[in-house]
Amino acid sequence: MLALLSAACQRGHSPGERARLVFKYQPLWGDPAPLREHLARFAAENPDLDLRVETLPNSTDLIHQFFLTALEGGDDSFDVLVADVTWIPEFARAGWIADLSDGFPPDGLRAAFLPGPTDAVVLGGRTFAVPWYVDVGLLYVRTDLTPRAPRTYDELRSFARAAMERHPSLAGYLWQGRQYEGLSCNVYEAIWGHGGQAPEVGRRILLDTAAARTGLLYLHDLIASGISPPLVTSAAEEETRRVFQDGRAVFMRNWPYAWAELQAAGSPVRGRVGIAPLPSLSGQPGPGTLGGWQLAVNAHAPPERRRAAARLIAHLTSPEANLLMALAYGRNPARRATYADARLRAQAPMIADLAPLVEHARPRPVTPYYQLFTDLLQGEFSAAISGIRTPEQALARAQRQVDRLIGWAP
């Protein structure tokens, strides 16, 4: 306890004349050396700065909790922070993250970065964060069990059923239906795939729409008709990935991370898996949910440290850094041009193949209310897909609760 206290006291005094700059991020899987070397180059170019990195817990929930309490309490002990794609409007509205428009003008950002992540970080014509790497929901297909990737929901169902008739032990389509944020991503994709906007964010956040009812009904019917096994109602990413990797399913909705696992040496489905955009009602590629992390600057930090922090963000989101994150850590670039880079094509062709998918990735509703209502929605989405309530009942309940919450706010 005393040691902790004295350590905390010492941290307050910067050694010598150099200003301390702290980068707070969540652990990246893999060898820490490449990122460390990349940061060391920044430190070498900025000898006036004492660059420190501090890691956060490896849980989105806990990171949000940490920032909520630290930033609300005015904590200025860190300068550059990572933020999930849905947090930017919330943090910006709260005044916790600094306006970065001077260093990263919205137009410049829009020209260089993918549209989805740009929409998530440019709010009211001001830039509040810079995309670090992106994620997108996509479809994994067993190429040995299907003629080709399904484009429509009908094809998804009929291809799955045909394969299941030939191999009765197979599950058809796996996705994430546990009551958590991943379920929201799956539901939004189903709504977008049916041509809806979800939810519509205006003065009122409109959840209870025809497209939302259709999307939820589609997910519910997948389970009810046996195309998706009951286990999806308690499954998150890893639960579905393992079943698919065991060779026990025809299709799976997941994030790009699963690719490396499925194609690893010893994987039963190695060489028999393809990726495709999600299917849709019309046959147009269905948009996947945009995920991924952004870098922002702590608004509580003094101005000179905020400027240094913006320089660090530029260093961490440069084209070179995008390539490094893709090659060393399998993180998908947020910059459009990186997908065409010859080195990426040669060394990580799967990531290069994601170009059309990330181009159409859609952010979840970009609103400061997001964290406030997503938890309410998850409970109702879960009720609808598992058949406890009809989509109509579930959405009506969600709408009432959200109206209560938002109706209070200005």
Partner 1 sequence: MGTVSRGAPSRGGSLAAERRQAYLLVAPAVAVLAAVALYPIGAALWLSLHRHIVVFHERSFLGFANYRFLLADARFWSALGHTAYFTVVAVSAELALGLPLALILHEARRGRGLLRALVLIPWAIPTVVAAKLWAWLLNPSYGLINRLLGGADINWLGHPVLALHTAIVVDAWKTTPFVAILLLAGLQGIPEDIYRAARVDGASSFRIFRSITLPLLRPALALALLFRTLDALRVFDAIYVLTEGGPANTTETLSLYAYKTLMRAGDFGYGATLSVVTFLCVALAAAALVRGLGRGWEEAR
64 binds partner 1 (CB under 8 A): yes
Q: What's the min distance (Å) between Cβ of 267 and partner 1? A: 15
Nearer to partner 1, 48 or 72 (CB): 72
Residues 176-205 that bind partner 1 (CB under 8 A): 177-180
Nearer to partner 1, 109 or 223 (CB): 223
65 binds partner 1 (CB under 8 A): yes
234 binds partner 1 (CB under 8 A): yes
The single residue among 38, 126, 161, 248 that binds partner 1, judged by CB under 8 A, is 248
Q: What's the min distance (Å) between Cβ of 98 and partner 1? A: 16
Which range in 21-29, 64-72, 198-206, 328-336 contacts partner 1 by CB under 8 A?
A: 64-72
Compute CA 73 distance to the chain's CA centroid, rounded to the nearest angstrom: 27
Q: What's the min distance (Å) between Cβ of 248 and partner 1? A: 7
DSSP result, 219-277: HHHHHHTTSS-GGGGG--HHHHHHHHHTT-EEEEEE-THHHHHHTSTT-TTTTSEEEEP
Residues 321-360 that bind partner 1 (CB under 8 A): none
Q: What's the min distance (Å) between Cβ of 124 and partner 1? A: 15
> What is the contact mask toward partner 1 in residues 354 to 373, using x (rule: CB under 8 A)?
--------------x--xxx
The single residue among 45, 54, 72, 304 that binds partner 1, judged by CB under 8 A, is 72
Q: In sequence order, what are the residues at sequence separation of 6 or more whose Cβ sits closer than 8 angstroms to the Cβ of residue 184?
A: 364, 374, 377, 378, 381
Give the Cα separation of 290 and 266 in Å (integer).
30
CB burial of residue 340 (10 Å; 0-12, 13-18, 19+): exposed
Mapped onto helix, strand or coil, the DSSP state of residue 97 is strand
Residue 88 in tokens: 């930017």
Number of residues that bind partner 1 (CB under 8 A): 46
Give the Cα separation of 160 and 146 in Å (integer).
8
The single residue among 43, 170, 379, 396 that binds partner 1, judged by CB under 8 A, is 379
225 binds partner 1 (CB under 8 A): no
Which range in 114-122, 172-180, 289-297, 306-314 contacts partner 1 by CB under 8 A?
A: 172-180
The single residue among 161, 242, 307, 336 that binds partner 1, judged by CB under 8 A, is 242
Q: What's the min distance (Å) between Cβ of 151 and partner 1? A: 28
Nearer to partner 1, 176 or 338 (CB): 176
Residues 80-139 that bind partner 1 (CB under 8 A): 90, 93-95
Give the Cα separation of 41 and 48 in Å (integer).
13
Give the Cα separation of 391 and 389 in Å (integer).
6
Residue 50 in tokens: 């004492």
DSSP result, 358-399: HHT-B-S--STTHHHHHHHHHHHHHHHHTTSS-HHHHHHHHH
Which range in 35-43, 98-106, 146-154, 234-242 contacts partner 1 by CB under 8 A?
A: 234-242
Q: What's the min distance (Å) between Cβ of 371 and partner 1? A: 6
396 binds partner 1 (CB under 8 A): no
Q: Tell me the backbone φ, ψ of residue 233, rounded to 5 degrees.
A: -70, -10
The single residue among 19, 43, 53, 68 that binds partner 1, judged by CB under 8 A, is 68
Which range in 131-139, 297-305, 312-320, 376-384 contacts partner 1 by CB under 8 A?
A: 376-384
Q: In sequence order, what are the residues at sequence separation of 6 or more whose Cβ sits closer than 8 angstroms to the Cβ of residue 113?
A: 130, 131, 334, 335, 336
Give the Cα separation of 358 and 335 in Å (integer).
10
397 vs 29, 102, 103, 162, 378, CA distance in Å? 40, 43, 44, 38, 12
40 vs 53, 159, 201, 234, 368, CA distance in Å? 11, 51, 42, 43, 35
Which range in 24-32, 152-160, 174-182, 300-308 contacts partner 1 by CB under 8 A?
A: 174-182
Nearer to partner 1, 220 or 331 (CB): 220
Q: In sequence order, what are the residues at sequence separation of 6 or more whose Cβ sits closer than 8 angstroms to the Cβ of residue 155?
A: 279
Q: Under the rule (CB under 8 A), what is the footprint of partner 1? A: 61, 64-65, 68, 72, 90, 93-95, 171, 177-180, 229-235, 239, 242-243, 246, 248, 368, 371-375, 378-380, 382-383, 386, 388-389, 401, 404-405, 408-410
